[in-house]
Structure 1
Amino acid sequence: MLKERLRSDLTTAMKARDQTRVATLRMALTAVANAETAGTEHHDLSDDEVMDVLVRETKKRRESAEAFDGAGRSELAERERAEEQVLAGYLPQPIADDELSALVAAAITETGADSMKAMGQVMKVVQPQVGSRADGKRVSTEVRRQLSGS
């Protein structure tokens, strides 16, 4: 189970005195615990749900790093990027550009989309196939590119 792997890696990082890894894994486990207790009753998250939490946390780190860079706070941006790299080790391999392009092309053919008005239909087909291997922004950019080119 992914949650158990995070806990085990946290213990290892603590023994190795790897402060960045310790802080990042604690943050990730806290986010998982918050997700488990959200709503009306507690439930254990599946590996897919834990993966979704890690994807969200990775995206937060990326966005924070960009914001810190824009504000001229490069030391904080570097810390955010280091945390993002730790979390990236738990995520599946990102989808290759050519594979994403092929999935979008197949979805456009399947839905019969011929304009930007059909973007939502294409996204509904592609997003479940891509899962956590690419963020929605990357997928929508590719869908827009292909729909505007056709």
Structure 2
Amino acid sequence: MIRETIQKEVIAAMKGGNKERTAALRLIQAKIKDRDIELRTAEKKGEDDEIVTDVLLKMAKQRKESIQMYRDGGREELAAQEEAELAVIEEFLPKQMDEAETKAAIEQVKADTGASSIKDMGKVMAELKNRHGATLDMSRTSGWVKESLQ
């Protein structure tokens, strides 16, 4: 399970004296714990790896946005710090589908759902997220779905 892997990596980073990696891993653990607290009152709880992957995907998206903002603002040192955190986060994420694989998945979902117009975009996006949620970059995928349905 991802959660245990992260815990082992924290211990290894601490023993190795890698302060930046330890800090990034502890940040990941804190976000996972926050999600656990949120889910205590939730009626439907997902699988543990699914929950952790969702947290990691959101963290990765935040880091990518921050990197872009820091670069636009000329703050390279902050962008570099965010990139280092992003690299640690991405170690625990499943391999993302490339453009060709994503477009093939879009075409498959279109065929399976009978989607033919832009009105069906929500249905296609929902099915893509259901089938390939953790391995798709949904922000890039939405553009390709829109392009495909026009």
For normalisation by structure 1, the TM-score amounts to 0.90
Q: Which amino acid aligns with 1:28?
A: I
User: Which residue of the partner structure matches residue 24 of structure 2?
Assistant: 24
Selected match of 1:145 from 134, 144, 147: 147
Q: In structure 2, the residue corresponding to 1:38 is in which secondary structure?
A: helix
Instruction: Please list every run of 5 or more consecutive structure 1 residues that lacks an aligned counterpart in the other structure.
Output: none
**Superposition deviation, residue 112 in structure 1:** 2.1
1:27-42 pair list within 5 angstroms: 27-39=27-39, 41=41
Q: Secondary structure at the match of 1:91?
A: coil
SS at match of 2:28: helix
**Cα distance in structure 2, aligned partners of 1:109 and 1:63:** 33
**Which of 32, 35, 54 is residue 56 of structure 2 equivalent to?**
54
Aligned residues: 148
Which stretch shifts more, 82-91 or 123-132?
A: 123-132
Asked if 2 retains the 8 angstrom alpha-carbon contact of 1:36 and 1:45, the reply is: no
Q: 1:128 aligns with which of 127, 130, 133?
A: 130
**TM-score, length of structure 2 as denominator length:** 0.90
Moved >4 Å (runs of 4+): 39-45
RMSD between superposed Cα atoms in Å: 1.9
User: Could you tell me how far apart the structure 1 residues matched to 2:76 and 2:48 are?
Assistant: 36
Q: AA paired with 1:3?
A: R
